Structure 1
Amino acid sequence: MTVALNLQGVACTFVSKDQPGQRYTAVKDVDLTVGAGEFVSVVGPTGCGKSTLLNVAAGLLAPSTGAVTVFGQPLQGLNKRAGYMFQAESLMPWRTALANVSAGLQFRGVPEEQAAAQANEWLRRVGLGGFGDRYLGPGHSDPPVDGKRVARHLASQEKSRAVHHP
Structure 2
Amino acid sequence: VTPSTKSERGVHDEPVSEQALVERGIVSENLWEQIRCTALKLFARGTEIAAKNGLILVDTKYEFGLLDNGLNEELVLVDEIHTPDSSRYWYTDTYEKLFKAGEKQNKLDKEYLRQWLMEHGFMGEGKVPDIPDEIKAEVAWRYIKAYETITGEKFVPLSKDPEEEKRVITEKISFWREAYNG
Q: Shorter-chain TM-score: which interval?
A: under 0.3
* TM-score, length of structure 1 as denominator length: 0.25
Greater radius of gyration (CA): 2
Q: Normalised by the size of structure 2, how large is the TM-score?
A: 0.24
Higher normalized contact order (CA 8 Å, seq sep 6+, divided by chain length) = 1
Give the structure with the larger strand fraction: 1
